[in-house]
C-alpha cells in the first residue's frame, strides 16, 4: 500500500481501477533541421495544421456548449483566441526561418516560452498555462493526427480513476462523465478551466500528486479528496474501512443535497457555525452556492507566494476587497503574515542563522518586515469598508505580542487619515492560539481581543516538539494527542468565562470522526478547507450530539492504539 497527498479541487470518495491518460503528442515531438529551400514548405505545413486545429476547436466549442453550457463555450472560445494570436503565429514562423527547424519543433518552443511567461505572473494567470498547453497539443496533433488516449485498454468497459500529468479542457471533453470515478493529476489549479469543467462531473479531483510515477494502469486506487489522499493498492483493513465509508456516503448524498441551503446543524437541530479556510483567492469560488458562515482563516502569505517581490498595498487591497465582496457581509478573518519554513516566499530573506519555525515567527517578524506588515494592514482596513473583515494576529504568546501588532494597526490608521483614504475604524481583532504559551495564558489574552482561533497544527507541533511534516513523527503520534485535548479544554473554559468567540481551524477539523469529541469539549464553531466544507456539513447533518460521558470515555483511551479504536478509524 502506498499513500500520496495532494490538493483537493473537488471533494468526495472514489474507489476503482486506475487508468493512465497520456497526451502522446507530448512524448514524441519531432525535432530536426531543414534546408533553407524548404522553409516555405514548412510554413505551409504550419498553416495547414493551424487550419485543422481551428476546425477541432470550433467542434469542441459546440460540443462543450451542449455539455457544459455557457462556461464550456467561453473556455473553448478562449482557446480559439490563443490560436488566433497573430504575434504567436509570426513568432513560430520567425523561428522556423531563423533556426531552420521543423514546424513542430518551432511550435513547441514558442508555446513553451509563452507558458513560462504566464507561470511568472500572478496565480490567476499562471493557471492559464494549462490552456496554452492544451492549444499547443491540439496544434501538434494536427500535424500527424496523434492525440490523447488511455494507455491501457481494460478488459471490459468500466469507469476508472483517471491518472494523468495534467488536466486540460480537451481531455475533460474527450472523456465521458460515465467513464470517470475521479481525476488524479500531477499539475492543476483550483480555478483552471479544466478543473472548472471537471467539477461539473461531480467526482473527486486531486492535483499536486506525483501520480504517473507511482500509479500504473490496473492499480486498485482509493481517492479520499476530503483529505487530499490517494491510496494505491490498499491493504484489506484500509479497503474494508473505505468500503463502509462509500456505502455510508451514498446513503447520505441525497439527503445532503436536499439540505444544501439550510444552516449547518446536527441531526437534532443543534446549530453549529461552519466557516472556510482560504489560502488562495480562487478558493472563494468553491463556496458559491453553499450556505456557509464566513471565512474563519484567510492565510495571507500564500496569496503572493509565486513572485519575486512583495505585494504592494494596492495588490493586497484588491485581493481583500474581492474576497470581502464575494463573502457577502459574512465575517472574513484575515491572518496577518505568518512567516515560517512552509510559508516563506522567495522575496523574504531572514537574517543568517535564524530558524524559520522557532526564530522569526508572529510578532517577532514585525521589526524585520515592518513595511510589509504596514502595507498589508492598511489594505485590510481599507478593504473592510466593502465587507466584514477582521484582523487575526498569528503566533501570539503574550500580551506584548498583541501590542506589537496593534502598533502597526495604529500607524496604518494614522497614515490612512493623512492620505484621506476611507477605512473602517472599528475592525475587530482576534488571536491565533497555536502555542502552549497562548493556551495556558488564554484567560489573560482573551481579555484584550474580540475572538480567538485554535490553530491545532502548530499547537500540536510545538506541544510535542515534533514536526508535523515528518512521516516518522506521523507514525509515532496521534493527530489528537491527549495533550492537545487538554490544552483545548483550557482555552474553551476561558472563552466561556469571558464570553468570547472561539473557532477551531486546524487540520483536525477535517476529520468527521472527531466531531463528537469537539462537541463534547464545547466547541461549536469550526473552519475547514473550502473544498471540504460541503462534506463536513453533510456529516454534521447526520451527527447525534454526544452526552457528557463521551469526553470521559475518551480519557479512558489515552494510549495511541486505544484512541484509534475509540474513533473506529485507522490513522494513515
* Residue 505 bears catalytic tag: yes
Place of cell 530536426: 32
How far apart, in Å, do the first and last CA atoms of the chain sit? 11
The whole-angstrom separation of Cα 568 and Cα 571 is 10
Phi, psi of 308 (to 5 degrees): -110, 5
DSSP state of 264: P
The whole-angstrom separation of Cα 333 and Cα 552 is 33
Q: What is the dihedral of CA 538, 261, 172, 70, to 10 degrees?
A: 180
The whole-angstrom separation of Cα 551 and Cα 539 is 20
The candidate with the shortest Cα–Cα distance to 95, out of 28, 25, 42, 142, is 42
The whole-angstrom separation of Cα 247 and Cα 252 is 9
The candidate with the shortest Cα–Cα distance to 343, out of 293, 301, 283, is 301
- Angle between helix 129-144 and 39-68 (nearest 10): 120
- Pull the grid cell for residue 34: 531543414
The candidate with the shortest Cα–Cα distance to 452, out of 403, 516, 523, 384, is 523
Radius of gyration, alpha carbons of the chain:
26
The candidate with the shortest Cα–Cα distance to 270, out of 547, 550, 569, is 547
Q: Which of 105, 130, 193, 478 is catalytic?
A: 193
Question: Helix, strand or coil for residue 495?
Answer: helix
The candidate with the shortest Cα–Cα distance to 83, out of 122, 111, 42, is 111
Q: Which of 256, 503, 505, 538 is catalytic?
A: 505
* Residue 105 bears catalytic tag: no
Active site residues: 193, 505
Amino acid at each position: 500500500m502506498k499513500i500520496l497527498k495532494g490538493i483537493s479541487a473537488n471533494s468526495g470518495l472514489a474507489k476503482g481501477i486506475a487508468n493512465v491518460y497520456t497526451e502522446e503528442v507530448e512524448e514524441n515531438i519531432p525535432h530536426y533541421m531543414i534546408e533553407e529551400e524548404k522553409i516555405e514548405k514548412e510554413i505551409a505545413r504550419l498553416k495547414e495544421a493551424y487550419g485543422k486545429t481551428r476546425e477541432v476547436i470550433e467542434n469542441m466549442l459546440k460540443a462543450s456548449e451542449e455539455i457544459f453550457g455557457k462556461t464550456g463555450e467561453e473556455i473553448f472560445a478562449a482557446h480559439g483566441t490563443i490560436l488566433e494570436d497573430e504575434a504567436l503565429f509570426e513568432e513560430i514562423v520567425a523561428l522556423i526561418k531563423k533556426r531552420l527547424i521543423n514546424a513542430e519543433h518551432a511550435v513547441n518552443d514558442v508555446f513553451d516560452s509563452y507558458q513560462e511567461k504566464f507561470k511568472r505572473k500572478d496565480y490567476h494567470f499562471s493557471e492559464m498555462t494549462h490552456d496554452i498547453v492544451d492549444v499547443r497539443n491540439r496544434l501538434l496533433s494536427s500535424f500527424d493526427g496523434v492525440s490523447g488516449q488511455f494507455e491501457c485498454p481494460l478488459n471490459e468497459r468500466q469507469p476508472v480513476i483517471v491518472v494523468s500529468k495534467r488536466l486540460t479542457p480537451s481531455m475533460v471533453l474527450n472523456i465521458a462523465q460515465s467513464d470517470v470515478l475521479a481525476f488524479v493529476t500531477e499539475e492543476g489549479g483550483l480555478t483552471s478551466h479544466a478543473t472548472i469543467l471537471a467539477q461539473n462531473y461531480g467526482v473527486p479531483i486531486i492535483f499536486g500528486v506525483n501520480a504517473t510515477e507511482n500509479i500504473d494502469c490496473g492499480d486498485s486506487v482509493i481517492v479520499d479528496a476530503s483529505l487530499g489522499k490517494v491510496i494505491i493498492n490498499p491493504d484489506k483493513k484500509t479497503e474494508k474501512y473505505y468500503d463502509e465509508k462509500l456505502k455510508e456516503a451514498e446513503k447520505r448524498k441525497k439527503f445532503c443535497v436536499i439540505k444544501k441551503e439550510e444552516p449547518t446543524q446536527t441531526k437534532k437541530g443543534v446549530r453549529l457555525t461552519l466557516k472556510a479556510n482560504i489560502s488562495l483567492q480562487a478558493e472563494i469560488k468553491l463556496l458559491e452556492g453553499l450556505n456557509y458562515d464566513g471565512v474563519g482563516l484567510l492565510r495571507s502569505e500564500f496569496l503572493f507566494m509565486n513572485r519575486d517581490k512583495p505585494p504592494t498595498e494596492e495588490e493586497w487591497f484588491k485581493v481583500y476587497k474581492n474576497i470581502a465582496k464575494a463573502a457577502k457581509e459574512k465575517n472574513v478573518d484575515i491572518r496577518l503574515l505568518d512567516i515560517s519554513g512552509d510559508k516563506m516566499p522567495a522575496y523574504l530573506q531572514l537574517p543568517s542563522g535564524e530558524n524559520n519555525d522557532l526564530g522569526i515567527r508572529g510578532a517577532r517578524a514585525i521589526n524585520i518586515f515592518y513595511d510589509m506588515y504596514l502595507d498589508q494592514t492598511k489594505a485590510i482596513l481599507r478593504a473592510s469598508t466593502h465587507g466584514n473583515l477582521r484582523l487575526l494576529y498569528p503566533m501570539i504568546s503574550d500580551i506584548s505580542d498583541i501590542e506589537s501588532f496593534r502598533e502597526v494597526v495604529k500607524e496604518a490608521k494614522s497614515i490612512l487619515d493623512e492620505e484621506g483614504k476611507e477605512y473602517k475604524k472599528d475592525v475587530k481583532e482576534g488571536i491565533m492560539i497555536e502555542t502552549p504559551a497562548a493556551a495556558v495564558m488564554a484567560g489573560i489574552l482573551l481579555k484584550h481581543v474580540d475572538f480567538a482561533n485554535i490553530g491545532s497544527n502548530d499547537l500540536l507541533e510545538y506541544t510535542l516538539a515534533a514536526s508535523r511534516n515528518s512521516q516518522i513523527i506521523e507514525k509515532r503520534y496521534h493527530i489528537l494527542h491527549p495533550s492537545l485535548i487538554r490544552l483545548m479544554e483550557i482555552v474553551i473554559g476561558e472563552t466561556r468565562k469571558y464570553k468570547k468567540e472561539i473557532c477551531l481551524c486546524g487540520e483536525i477539523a477535517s476529520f468527521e470522526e472527531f466531531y463528537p469529541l469537539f462537541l463534547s469539549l464545547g466547541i461549536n464553531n469550526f473552519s475547514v478547507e473550502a473544498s471540504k466544507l460541503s462534506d463536513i456539513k453533510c456529516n454534521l447533518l447526520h451527527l447525534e450530539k454526544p452526552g457528557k460521558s463521551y469526553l470521559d470515555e475518551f480519557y479512558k483511551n489515552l494510549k495511541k492504539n486505544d484512541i484509534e479504536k475509540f474513533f473506529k478509524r485507522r490513522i494513515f
